[in-house]
Structure 1
Amino acid sequence: MKKLLTTSAALGLTLLAAAPSVFAQTADQRTAISLSANTLQYKGNFGSQYWNNENNWKLGGGISFSRYLTSGLDLGLHLNYGKVNYDAVQGAPQFGSFFEANIVNANLGLKLKLNNGWALKENAFIQPYLLIAPGAAFVSSDGVINRNGTTRAFDGSDTYFDVHGAAGITFRVSESVGLFVQTGQHFPLNANIDMDPVRDDNKIDDRYLQHSAGLTIALGKKADEDNDGVSDRKDKCPGTPAGVAVDANGCPLDGDGDGVPDYQDKCPTEKGLAALEGCPDRDGDGVRDSEDKCPDTPGKAELQGCPDADGDGVTDASDKCPNTPAGVAVDATGCPLDKDGDGVPDYQDRCPNRPGPASNKGCPEMKVEEKKKLQEATKFIQFDFDKATLKPISFPTLNGLVQILNDYPDYSLGISAHADNKGDDAYNLRLSDERAASARAYMLSKGIAADRIVSHGYGETKPIADNATESGRAINRRVEFDVYLPGDPNPAETKYGVAPEIPAAAPKAAPKAPVKKAPARKPAPRRK
């Protein structure tokens, strides 16, 4: 037996080294070939060698071709050659007899695999099985029979129907090969292997054990569309990109178990989020921790994950003015911009491009003498009688006002014109509006932008003196000039309210046609 195991191991290692890199027989590769070394042990009329290790072992060989049917069943063709010999021992009826037989077996068998998923997995390392294989035994024997003092030599051959039953274990050495050991008994029906003429009544007195050890490899190539090494039948992730490492199910490896395969995972050693390419985000602000400058405080992606409570684009840690109103432009420290540096932030500064005190809303304060010119300008504006035409005496005053507007480009000017109560009310209202517009037109002609001057006429509705006297009426016929800052109301409207709507002028009457006198009638002649 020791010699058998040594020889079988040597044969197995030799075949393993020469085996191609194929998968063991499975549903993907259904055909397999097995090569084995074997020895036979006889039992018959001469005696029994069963499990007797003292006999001279005769080595034989075998080859099998099998086909996968199900996870628990294979169909195989088994071809084996072996040799038995026996010398009748002293005390036996055939003492002095001996024989040697060469036996060839051809059996078609069913293998019941116990690694069918019920007790053991199909890819288990140890894979026990049972084999039942009917077939034929071709026996050629020669020897000498000595019975009752009569010695007779014999030499003959015959073919018998054979029933072979065996049990074995396959060892799944790798995905490429399997080694197996097997022991079973052959029952060649009516066989007379030892050629003894004295037979048992059942004629199954001659039989033999077969002990085998060998190597099984699979043939063919499994279907593997994405070439990831996992057959399409078992591949739970078909279509894996070329070169991507996969697990036993054909799915890309995911070392950190976050559901993002390693080949797509930017952080393959840390559990993360699919939305962040497998990287973690412990504060949940959508910025991966490796790029988050404030990884423990939710923030904004544009600020590298840091918070900005007032939304001014400066992180809270760097914001020196943390409560800036929404939409206000700020500097690098988070404070509102102050372009003119006057201490009034631009969003509150009526004159953001020129410095001025906060008391004047960030605008330059007008000098006292210029304010005085505005107040006294009304005294020097005169028009032709009952017209809106400016008298030349008014020009120096208006030019002075133009200069003030040029010196203070952020200010606007309101012009309001008034009349006394003499004449028609509607006429007086139109005339006052035209006179205010005339003063405005003059100043626009000197280069002042149209959107900086507003003019209105109030007619006789806002007197400041008694219209019962000539001096009072002269005061009431006036043009006032008021400056104001952007965003402020027109001072005239503050003082007098919204200007009245100007009525349309009455149409001029058509000139009367001259009346022709009828010619004088001549007196009728007297009758004589």
Structure 2
Amino acid sequence: MKHLSKLLLLSMVVLGISSANAQDANNPWAIGIGTNAVDFYPTGNGAPLSNGMFDEYFNTGDHWNILPSVSQLTVGRYIGAGLVAEIDGSINQIDQFGDRSVNDLSYYSVDGSINYSLRAMLNNGWFDPVIGVGGGYTWVGDQDSDDIENFDAPTLNGSLGINFWFTDNLALFVESKYKHAFEPEMGQHFQHSAGIKFMFGGTDTDGDGIYDKDDECPETPGLPEFNGCPDSDGDGIPDKDDECPNTPGLAEFNGCPDTDGDGVPDPEDECPETPGLAEFNGCPDSDGDGVPDKDDECPDTPGLPEFNGCPDSDGDGVPDKDDECPDVAGTVANNGCPEPTAEVVKELNEYSNTVLFDFNKATIRSESEEALNSIADIMKEYDHTTFHIEGHTDSVGSDDYNLKLSKERAASVREYLVGAGIPADRLTSEGYGETRPIATNSTDAGRQENRRVEISLVED
């Protein structure tokens, strides 16, 4: 007993610095081997807990029958809710039967019990008190003899023990069991046990040290702090909850990074390296016009969505970048610049119809200069418009001659207007001879109308 006390003290010191688990659903099976001591003395008057029952409880020298070898084997199975079903078999040699000395009576017992662990109430530490109740059968004496000291009987048992868990699978156990025999001659007695208990049967499919029952990722090696799930990118968020498991990220973004720190995680950020706004999926809007820079053709100037972020200063429907007259409202057809209306074109042709030429020549008569100057003044108001000058004749004369004469007369008008200050690249001319009459060539009046100069607009 002196050596046993030292062993218990050493175990307490070691266990105080060790982490451990008790028998549970992860390791449902346990096998124990140990030694046992049988004490027939401190049983009082035969009734449990009667006066005097524990008076000699610790008198190991006078009353305990100890077989100093492996003399007990236990097998236990966890059944849930802290309960363990256990069966054990023991052998011993009885030299002290109460206060009587006997001569090496054999002792055999087989017992079954239901044990309840109090460890969960003590914060699941290494210290694991256990209480149990059960029954068994005990044989004492030489069963092949008719000696009076041969007897056997069923027993009703109650036990109190402690498991000291060294590791997840190994414990030192001590137990004291009261056995109430249903045979008066046998008497009531205690059986004390001590030994080593091995726990096994747990399944750890992925080998990460966490049993499948508690492993939220039982087929993938993981970490204890994540209940057996891995954290591949080491960002503190297990892969099963990490939307970006291979890239370190932030908890508020479910493990995804926010490289530019704009509050929009990279997978949702269309501009992940440039701080932007949530409403534009993480892209900036430098000019604040409601069009993100990536879609804004004028990112530094507030503009309109319909013009891809570019402004239309004159409101003519042509964005400034394409508007040749950005400060004057014009037409889309004329690249944002104003163009002559039908009334203006009509006025131009009223003047051009009064232009006269010398007979069968392209020379402009002097009395036509006033009309041509009026035409030039109107054209100067539309400095982004190209005008086309057309020459026409009547049907008198050959076709070739009339075509040549109409081209020369149109060219004469163009040359005069260029001299009056109209840029040459804004004027074109062409002659059409007698091919486009506007009146009959059968009368002098009709032929007079057909000999004309017309001005039209050149459409881009």
Per the normalisation by structure 1, the TM-score is 0.52
Match of 2:200 in 1: 219
Q: After TM superposition, give the deviation of residue 65 of structure 1 in Å.
A: 1.6
What secondary structure sits across from 1:43 in the alignment?
coil
Q: After TM superposition, give the deviation of residue 233 of structure 1 in Å.
A: 4.4
Taking structure 1 as reference, are residues 263 and 8 closer, same or farther at Cα in structure 2, changes over 3 Å only? Answer: farther
The yes-or-no answer on 1:137 pairing with 2:110 is: no
Q: Distance in 2 between matches of 1:411 and 1:395?
A: 14
Match of 1:198 in 2: none
Aligned AA (1:476): E
Larger deviation, residues 278-287 vs 130-139: 278-287
Match of 1:74 in 2: 84
What secondary structure sits across from 2:185 in the alignment?
coil
What secondary structure sits across from 2:5 in the alignment?
helix
Match of 1:435 in 2: 435
The yes-or-no answer on 1:478 pairing with 2:451 is: yes
Taking structure 1 as reference, are residues 7 and 302 closer, same or farther at Cα in structure 2, changes over 3 Å only? Answer: closer
The alignment yields a C-alpha RMSD, in angstroms, of: 5.9
Note the 1:452-467 alignment, pairs <5 A: 458-459=438-439
Q: After TM superposition, give the deviation of residue 259 of structure 1 in Å.
A: 7.9
Deviations 1:299-352 (A, max 9, x none): 534736878534273699x94420245235869xxx96758998779x978677
Percent identical pairs in the alignment equals 16
* Cα pair 1:287 1:304 within 8 Å, conserved: no
* Cα pair 1:298 1:305 within 8 Å, conserved: no
Match of 1:203 in 2: 185
* Cα pair 2:37 2:192 within 8 Å, conserved: yes
Match of 1:106 in 2: 109
Count of aligned residue pairs for this structure pair: 385
Match of 2:128 in 1: 126
Aligned AA (1:385): V
Q: Distance in 1 between matches of 2:213 and 2:10?
A: 36
Q: Distance in 2 between matches of 1:109 and 1:87?
A: 24
Match of 2:291 in 1: 311
Match of 1:182 in 2: 175
What secondary structure sits across from 2:278 in the alignment?
coil
* Cα pair 1:293 1:305 within 8 Å, conserved: no
Q: Distance in 2 between matches of 1:72 and 1:327?
A: 73
Aligned AA (1:395): K
Deviations 1:250-279 (A, max 9, x none): 5556946998238727455532258x5799
Per the normalisation by structure 2, the TM-score is 0.58
Q: Distance in 1 between matches of 2:427 and 2:309?
A: 24
Match of 1:463 in 2: none
Deviations 1:359-383 (A, max 9, x none): 779xxxxx989959999977x6434
Match of 1:36 in 2: 34
Q: Distance in 1 between matches of 2:116 and 2:323?
A: 93
Taking structure 1 as reference, are residues 228 and 304 closer, same or farther at Cα in structure 2, changes over 3 Å only? Answer: farther
Taking structure 1 as reference, are residues 139 and 315 closer, same or farther at Cα in structure 2, changes over 3 Å only? Answer: farther
Match of 2:395 in 1: 384
Q: Distance in 1 between matches of 2:106 and 2:270?
A: 76
Q: Distance in 2 between matches of 1:309 and 1:486?
A: 34
* Cα pair 1:291 1:304 within 8 Å, conserved: no
* Cα pair 1:42 1:50 within 8 Å, conserved: no
What secondary structure sits across from 1:203 in the alignment?
coil
Note the 1:4-403 alignment, pairs <5 A: 4-8=4-8, 25-43=23-41, 50-53=56-59, 55=61, 58=66, 60=68, 61=70, 62-82=72-92, 85=95, 98-99=101-102, 101=104, 104-114=107-117, 126-139=128-141, 158=150, 160-163=152-155, 164-187=157-180, 190=183, 202-205=184-187, 207-220=188-201, 222-237=202-217, 239=219, 242-245=220-223, 250-251=228-229, 255=236, 260-261=241-242, 264=245, 266-273=247-254, 282=263, 287=268, 291=272, 293-294=274-275, 297-301=277-281, 303=283, 309-311=289-291, 313=293, 319-324=299-304, 326-328=306-308, 338=321, 381-385=392-396, 390-398=402-410
What secondary structure sits across from 1:323 in the alignment?
coil
Q: After TM superposition, give the deviation of residue 402 of structure 1 in Å.
A: 9.3
Q: After TM superposition, give the deviation of residue 126 of structure 1 in Å.
A: 3.2
* Cα pair 1:266 1:278 within 8 Å, conserved: no
Q: Distance in 2 between matches of 1:179 and 1:348?
A: 98
Q: After TM superposition, give the deviation of residue 184 of structure 1 in Å.
A: 1.3
Q: After TM superposition, give the deviation of residue 69 of structure 1 in Å.
A: 3.7
What secondary structure sits across from 1:393 in the alignment?
helix
Taking structure 1 as reference, are residues 228 and 398 closer, same or farther at Cα in structure 2, changes over 3 Å only? Answer: farther
Taking structure 1 as reference, are residues 486 and 228 closer, same or farther at Cα in structure 2, changes over 3 Å only? Answer: farther
What secondary structure sits across from 2:306 in the alignment?
coil
Unmatched tracts of structure 1, length 5 or more? 17-21, 89-93, 142-154, 191-201, 362-366, 418-431, 437-456, 461-466, 488-528
Q: Distance in 2 between matches of 1:401 and 1:131?
A: 128
Deviations 1:425-448 (A, max 9, x none): xxxxxxx9x723xxxxxxxxxxxx
Taking structure 1 as reference, are residues 184 and 64 closer, same or farther at Cα in structure 2, changes over 3 Å only? Answer: same
Larger deviation, residues 67-76 vs 178-187: 67-76
Q: After TM superposition, give the deviation of residue 121 of structure 1 in Å.
A: 8.9
* Cα pair 2:272 2:282 within 8 Å, conserved: no
* Cα pair 2:307 2:319 within 8 Å, conserved: no
Q: Distance in 1 between matches of 2:217 and 2:118?
A: 26
Deviations 1:62-84 (A, max 9, x none): 32122334445433331334456
Q: Distance in 2 between matches of 1:213 and 1:108?
A: 16
Q: Distance in 2 between matches of 1:66 and 1:381?
A: 121
Q: Distance in 1 between matches of 2:61 and 2:305?
A: 105
Unmatched tracts of structure 2, length 5 or more? 45-51, 312-317, 341-371, 380-385
More helix by share: 2
Q: After TM superposition, give the deviation of residue 180 of structure 1 in Å.
A: 2.9
Taking structure 1 as reference, are residues 65 and 11 closer, same or farther at Cα in structure 2, changes over 3 Å only? Answer: farther
Q: After TM superposition, give the deviation of residue 109 of structure 1 in Å.
A: 0.5
Aligned AA (1:321): T
Q: Distance in 1 between matches of 2:290 and 2:270?
A: 23
What secondary structure sits across from 2:86 in the alignment?
strand
